[in-house]
Structure 1
Amino acid sequence: MERSMDPSLTSHDEVQPLLAPNSRRRGDSVASFISRGRANTVNSLKSGYETVKRHKVQFLTCLFGAIFLYLGFTLAFLPRTSLSRDLRRLHFSSYTKAEAYRVYLEALTEKNELKKHLRNYTAHRHLSGDERVFQYTFDTLKSYGFSPSVEKYYPWLNEPIDTEISLWENGQLKLSASKMEDPLDEDPSSQAGDSVPAFHGYSANGDVTARFVFCNYGRLDDYKFMENQGIELEGKVHIIRYGSMFRGLKVKNAEAHGAAAVILYTDPFDDGEMTVKNGHKAYPEGPARNPSGIQRGSVEFFTESPGDPTTPGYASKSRSMRRDSPAGRVPGIPSVPMSARDASKILVYLNEQGVRIGKGGDIQNFDYFTGPSQENVKIRVYNEQKYEIKETKDIIVEIPGILRGSSVIIGNHRDSWTVGGAGDPNSGSSILLEIARGLDELRSKGWKPLRTIKLISWDAEEPAMIGSTEYGEDHADKLKKEVLAYFNLDTAVSGWKFTCEANPLLANLLRKAAHLTPFSHQPEHTLYDYWLDQSSAEVGILGSGTDFAVFQNHLGIPSVNIKFEDNKVSDAVYQYHTNYDSYTWMEKFVDPEYDLHNTLAMFVGLSALMLTENELVSFQSTPYVQLIKNYFDRWHTLLLETFKSQSNVIKKASNVSELLSYLAFNITGPFDDHLAHLRQQTTTDYPFWSFYKKIGIYLRLSGINKRLKTLDRLFLTEMGLKDREWMKHAIFGPDKFEGYIGDVLPGLHEAILSRDEAEAEKWLEILEYQISKMIKLLTLD
């Protein structure tokens, strides 16, 4: 008989065996259990899906509502941010500008490696192409965590084989001038076995024996005076004192006036107060010049056309490339330098010969007569130089920025004429390495610069600014497109007089950086205070003669040249380009604790950071235009005195004057005010829902930065200055007749001095066009 089943019992009997440990039927295996579980899960999902499907609208409404509430709640409590902070956060950099400045300054305050660097740089001779200082610089930068790259160039260079200056009377040898300074027990550098004998870079080979004349400083005015006095110049050896102008132009002037050879010497009179004649002891016992010091240096005409004279305007990229004749860029006559001590033994032969010239000097027993020497008194000048193509290497470190396509360069050369070179150039070389260390400290803490920073160690500056010039010519288009400014450190420390020469676009930035720079480890006393006391914080005019030339004068990149130099009053005399420019001299008479070096490392690095870390380029147009206007007003007055009142020159000058006045009084003020307002907007915090405002600020920022980057480039000319085509800038250039110092509106100024009406008219037309473009560039829409 079939038994009826109780549902509750059946359920109990099916469950009970799962709990009994020793009785399990085949159907209750693990596989069966998993199979049933999978079926239940699928059924549940199907059931859930059907439910969602039946209530789809309600489900989606609840889902999106929950997301909206969550996002709304989150966004409501988001912090207000500025465009400045957003740019850094997007690139995972949390450092503010102020924090970056602080960390950099602290890194250089807590540690100072400058003494170590300077002693390593001055351990041996390091002419252009020296491998040892190259390797030291490269390895040091690499030890800071950088990956330096190298740019190689192959210029035509000379090194000395033999030189001679000898005095002959009645065919008898009276004197052979020394080729080297006296070795000093107190100065190890002066005793080095690899010391460099005295010579001139790019001096012509030759052997000349002739009567001699004294030509004072070798200026055109000196030669004009001598010609008016009927002094015989043709075929003579011209003895010229250093000072007043670039040595290469002295030799050029001498050659133009018939010199057979040139001797250059340093007159202690030009050292200022610190002379033996004024009661001071000579180095090493005292601060005055050692009389055996001989100033080496280049006589290439690099204030007209720097760089390799066989590749003018283009880079010397290989040994086998096409080369031009160097004629016209180097002298055609031999020249040799001489000490003041040997000059005193030769120049006395000119007393009572010819006429007195100039303001006198400190050469013992010499009355500063022109000569020429008597028929029986002659000088032999022998010069033998080895010329060859030589490999040189620039070292480049790049710290990529958040905003690509915009960069700042800090540079200095490392080659020297002597074993020492403590002031020129290795005070700057050491500072460059300290700046690198400070920036590495920032990098190690997660900082990224807003704009790219490049640190460059130039090679072969001394002969003709070759490393920087070849690099600039090689990368001209890219540099003009990207580089905001160039900071130069040549001869950074040689005294206590602070000197800052710069494009006026950077003047206010430099003063602000000086405000933040402690002076010589005195936190309560800033570099700005010191600068203000010395010169009312004056920013000087750039000239030439060092590595900024290719940037400012050829490419239109605003540049800065900063140094502590000999003040000619209370500072020890700078033993420039002699064997006594040594770490011994530096530590005894100038910067024993390397505090001045440290101050400059802080100041230059901080100035560069203030340019790279500000979203808006830190230029100001008002000082730039005011400088142009001041100099134009000066040349305008000279022009009115030089040319006839009814000439086209006068009319065009009036047009330029009106344009400059309009630019100065109507355009630059509102433009700089707009910059200040935009800078404030960049750092103003906005809530998230005002993101569109930050987009607008960013677009305006980008547009203004493009204008500022191209501002100085507006004044480049295709044809360059007259007889100096390499010098392309219409506003800034080296003085044509003195070389080192700067001139403003040089093309116009030279045309007025030469009374060349057509040339003056041409430059006025150029300036009218360029100033009109500047008005358009700075006019706000």
Structure 2
Amino acid sequence: MANSDRSSNMPTIPNDEESQPLVPRGMTRRRDNSVASFLARGRSNTISSLKSGYETVKKHKDEFWLLIIGSIVLYLGFTLAFLPRTSLSRDFRRWHFSKLTKPEAFRIYVEAIMKENKCPEHLSNYTSRTHWAGDVETLEYTVEEMTKLGFTPKLEKYHTWLNEPVRTEVTLWELDHMTFNASMIEDYVVGGASADSSEQVFGFHGYSANGTVKSEYVYCNYGNSDDYKYLIDNNIELKGKVHIIRSGTTSKGIAVRNAEERGALGAILYTDSSDDGLITERNGYKAYPDGPARHESSIERGSVLLSSNSPGDPSTPGAPSKLKQVQRLNATDVIPSIPSVPMSEREVAPLLRHLNGNGIQWTNKGNVKGFQYFSGPSDMGIECQIVNDQKYILKEITNVIVEIPGIFKEQDIIIGNHRDAWTSGGAGAPNSGSAILLEIARGFSLLHQSGWKPLRTIKLISWDGGEQGMLGSTEYGEEHSKALSEGTVAYLNLDVGVVGSILNVKSNPLLNELIIRSSKRTLFKDDPDVTLYDYWKETSGATLGLLGSGTDFAVFQNHLGIPSVDFSFTRDPEKDAVAQFHSNYDSYEWMEKFGDPDFSLHSTMAMFVGVTTLSLAENELLGFKTNEYMVEISEYYNSLYPSISKTFPKDKLIRTLQKNLADALELLTTHSSLDFDSMVDFVRDETQQDYPWWQWNKKLLVLTKLISTNSKLRKLDRYFLSEEGLKGRSFMKHSIFAPDKITGNQGDVLPGLHEAVLSENRQECIFWLETLLTQLDKIVSLLTT
């Protein structure tokens, strides 16, 4: 009983204190409520717990670590068992946190272009004032628009040597009396871009020589080599005369150089409306602004730099035009030494009418009123005087570069357009291309904001100084030649974006198939039932042309061996309004009324170039086809073969080299390139193939093959570069493509060999046959190893 009472009176001990010593009865435990004592008690308890836990772990350490390892293995096994099968293509995007699949990227871009068209706004801004090379306002507008889209434009500046007009003058003299003084400007057009007379620009030529000359004159048709031969064969006196030349079959620089070499004191170039096709006043069409025909006061300005020999700043050949880092050279080898000016059809007429009945009559006539197309020269005492006063300066030009970084290194794609023009116009050439470039940038901006990261870096570049002679693009190419050669897979050019209804694509054949595929993915004028390919095939057979001359792809294709494409909508001479290039009438009003009234062709081109770019940027394997390239080379060589045999009929060495080159092309076209393209298709399929995780070694092999194949495709066109370049044109280093040496306008295939045959130069012919053989042997090795 006593025990029971005692038990019932004992205090209850809390559970957390069960391990502590029991406090003897009758003693009261001191309770200290200070923070220090509380922390001390907590520390003591914690240490005790840790010691106890450690002892337990120590006692059962083997079991503990087995449990940890087992848990990890179980987790990894469970995770790996349920990992999805993936392709190398999807892995690239996952590893680099790209949020869009390829189809999503295409869809978002196309929807962006279809949803809105800002080309009218851009074109209006670009053509609102005169914008020569170095213009600040068009530079600021381009930078501002790119910045609005979320990009950070980079500006690269060069100081180029060029000219701006002070005064140009052409007068007619009869027995020392001036009877006509040309205005050298276009007529005022109400509501047109030239409405503000302060914005009108005298007719002048880029890189024309200063001087005043006065003499009798002669009409030399198009001023090409055949025309001059015809004049000489008919004993027409050319030396010491002013030569009047009709623009057309030769570039302006070559036409003036041809005149200079035949003893001309000066040259006048004019545009004859009969070369415009059906759409002329003579055929009953009204002239601009009332109709689609050429205005008779239209003046076609342009550069007389021999850009088909060497584009870019002529004072710094081969080097970028930096203000203090380069030695300036005399540029007489690529610019004329005689003054030259452009004139309108109307204002050249008073001079040409004085030639009627003199000399020989040309079989091809034209539309100059009152002129019967006699050669002259003019009678004694009938003279014309040219005054050409140009201010030559070092002027700062600026390229605007926007970069969208990609996943792959050293595989860049560049889209370029130059923004400068000769007048306040330039709506067709080049600013339709400038507007399209900004639209492409808008589409890519929306993609970028959606979490898109392209596989390949995309660069959008607005060149400066393009009209004078591709100054901005050439200086950029010269400054960055090493990086471009190593890391650029293609250059896409926009210059004359839209001036008519005929799609005109000029391309390196490596890109032909990709371009055709892209046209099939592009809607024509946003019509869901008509692709651009459908329209292209119906209107012009969906044929791709040769890269020629006179625009910004020159440094990329002809100098660095970077496969290039030039995109444009050109005019149908049977139905489209006349695009009055480089005149005040190439205006926004002309585009809005005649060129592309609803700007739907601008939008179509923006979609086409963007889709082509995405096809290059979003596919792991470059979309190049080598067989089509080799076949095209072979076809051109076969067409040249008889001329070689005829020119050097008994030369055994040349015959042997001819045969060896034919055999090499036969091997490439029928075996090496076909087998390589098949292998490329196989690797492409493997890259898209899904594999389970345990076949990681298979993916590694595919990745290795992918890297190797892309490297070969990127190098291939570089193998056609020769260190010496073409004879007399060392800038042009590509053995397959160059501007035609005779005309300067068209492209030439196998130019070195072709020129050697034309000049009947045996050593040059042997050199180029051996060079091509060496290059083709390297390509066979590249494709088969």
Partner of 1:752: 757
From 376, 382, 388, the counterpart of 2:393: 388
**Correspondences of 1:326-341 after superposition (within 5 Å):** 326-341=331-346
Q: Distance in 2 between matches of 1:560 and 1:459?
A: 19
Partner of 1:464: 469
From 303, 320, 327, the counterpart of 1:298: 303
Uncovered stretches (5+) of structure 1, i.e. residues with no partner: none
Contact 1:275–1:281 at 8 Å: present in 2 too?
yes
Q: Distance in 2 between matches of 1:86 and 1:586?
A: 47
Indicate the SS of the match to 1:155.
Answer: strand
Cα shift at 1:28: 4.1
**1:57/1:551 Cα in 2 relative to 1: closer, same or farther (>3 Å)?**
same
Contact 1:154–1:319 at 8 Å: present in 2 too?
no
Q: Distance in 2 between matches of 1:111 and 1:250?
A: 44
Contact 1:124–1:192 at 8 Å: present in 2 too?
no
**Correspondences of 1:43-62 after superposition (within 5 Å):** 43-62=48-67
**1:767/1:8 Cα in 2 relative to 1: closer, same or farther (>3 Å)?**
farther
Partner of 1:168: 173
Q: Distance in 1 between matches of 2:508 and 2:9?
A: 101
Partner of 2:485: 480
- Counterpart of 2:192, as a letter, is D
- Counterpart of 2:150, as a letter, is G
Cα shift at 1:9: 5.4
**1:74/1:333 Cα in 2 relative to 1: closer, same or farther (>3 Å)?**
same
**Correspondences of 1:194-593 after superposition (within 5 Å):** 194-318=199-323, 321-593=326-598
**1:135/1:33 Cα in 2 relative to 1: closer, same or farther (>3 Å)?**
closer
Cα shift at 1:70: 1.8
Contact 2:502–2:540 at 8 Å: present in 1 too?
no
Partner of 2:107: 102
From 687, 700, 709, the counterpart of 2:692: 687
**1:7/1:152 Cα in 2 relative to 1: closer, same or farther (>3 Å)?**
farther
- Counterpart of 2:52, as a letter, is S
Larger deviation, residues 689-698 vs 120-129: 689-698
Cα shift at 1:627: 0.8
Contact 1:216–1:358 at 8 Å: present in 2 too?
no
Contact 1:192–1:419 at 8 Å: present in 2 too?
no
Contact 1:166–1:379 at 8 Å: present in 2 too?
yes
Deviations 1:268-314 (A, max 9, x none): 11000101111111111111100000110000111111111111111
**Correspondences of 1:641-656 after superposition (within 5 Å):** 641-656=646-661
Q: Distance in 2 between matches of 1:81 and 1:244?
A: 57
Q: Distance in 1 between matches of 2:38 and 2:214?
A: 118
Q: Distance in 1 between matches of 2:509 and 2:695?
A: 37
Partner of 1:662: 667
- Counterpart of 1:140, as a letter, is E
**Correspondences of 1:80-99 after superposition (within 5 Å):** 80-99=85-104
Partner of 2:22: none
- Counterpart of 1:550, as a letter, is V
- Please give the TM-score of this superposition, normalised by the length of structure 2: 0.96
Indicate the SS of the match to 1:403.
Answer: coil
From 115, 119, 122, the counterpart of 1:114: 119
- Counterpart of 1:178, as a letter, is S
From 121, 129, 132, the counterpart of 1:127: 132
| Aligned residue pairs, count | 773
- Counterpart of 1:522, as a letter, is D
- Counterpart of 2:394, as a letter, is I
Q: Distance in 2 between matches of 1:190 and 1:729?
A: 45
Partner of 1:154: 159
Contact 2:203–2:341 at 8 Å: present in 1 too?
yes
**1:13/1:522 Cα in 2 relative to 1: closer, same or farther (>3 Å)?**
closer
Deviations 1:57-110 (A, max 9, x none): 333223222221222112211211111111111111121111111111111111
Q: Distance in 1 between matches of 2:553 and 2:91?
A: 35
Contact 1:554–1:727 at 8 Å: present in 2 too?
yes
**1:328/1:38 Cα in 2 relative to 1: closer, same or farther (>3 Å)?**
closer
- Counterpart of 1:266, as a letter, is T
Contact 1:181–1:190 at 8 Å: present in 2 too?
no
Q: Distance in 2 between matches of 1:142 and 1:24?
A: 84
Deviations 1:515-536 (A, max 9, x none): 1111112121111111111222
Indicate the SS of the match to 2:497.
Answer: coil
Deviations 1:20-72 (A, max 9, x none): xxx99653445667655654554444333333333333332232222212221
Indicate the SS of the match to 2:660.
Answer: helix
Contact 2:193–2:588 at 8 Å: present in 1 too?
no
The 4+ residue runs of structure 1 with deviation greater than 2 A are 3-16, 23-63, 188-192
Q: Do structure 1's residue 27 and structure 2's residue 27 form an aligned pair?
A: no
Q: Distance in 1 between matches of 2:95 and 2:674?
A: 34
Q: Distance in 1 between matches of 2:10 and 2:667?
A: 104
Partner of 1:64: 69
Q: Distance in 2 between matches of 1:320 and 1:473?
A: 13
**1:15/1:198 Cα in 2 relative to 1: closer, same or farther (>3 Å)?**
closer
Contact 2:193–2:585 at 8 Å: present in 1 too?
no
Q: Distance in 1 between matches of 2:783 and 2:6?
A: 96
From 727, 732, 739, the counterpart of 1:727: 732
**1:26/1:99 Cα in 2 relative to 1: closer, same or farther (>3 Å)?**
same
Contact 1:184–1:191 at 8 Å: present in 2 too?
no
Q: Distance in 1 between matches of 2:298 and 2:475?
A: 32
Larger deviation, residues 711-720 vs 361-370: 361-370
**1:9/1:575 Cα in 2 relative to 1: closer, same or farther (>3 Å)?**
same
**1:600/1:13 Cα in 2 relative to 1: closer, same or farther (>3 Å)?**
closer
Contact 1:551–1:557 at 8 Å: present in 2 too?
yes
Contact 1:509–1:619 at 8 Å: present in 2 too?
yes
Q: Distance in 2 between matches of 1:30 and 1:438?
A: 71
Q: Distance in 2 between matches of 1:263 and 1:37?
A: 103
Deviations 1:436-473 (A, max 9, x none): 11111011111111111111110001111100001101
Q: Distance in 2 between matches of 1:190 and 1:427?
A: 21
Deviations 1:557-594 (A, max 9, x none): 00010000111110001111110000000010011111
Contact 2:285–2:291 at 8 Å: present in 1 too?
yes
Partner of 2:11: 12
Partner of 2:638: 633
Uncovered stretches (5+) of structure 2, i.e. residues with no partner: 18-25
**1:12/1:359 Cα in 2 relative to 1: closer, same or farther (>3 Å)?**
same
Larger deviation, residues 744-753 vs 184-193: 184-193
Q: Distance in 2 between matches of 1:584 and 1:358?
A: 37
Contact 2:128–2:193 at 8 Å: present in 1 too?
no
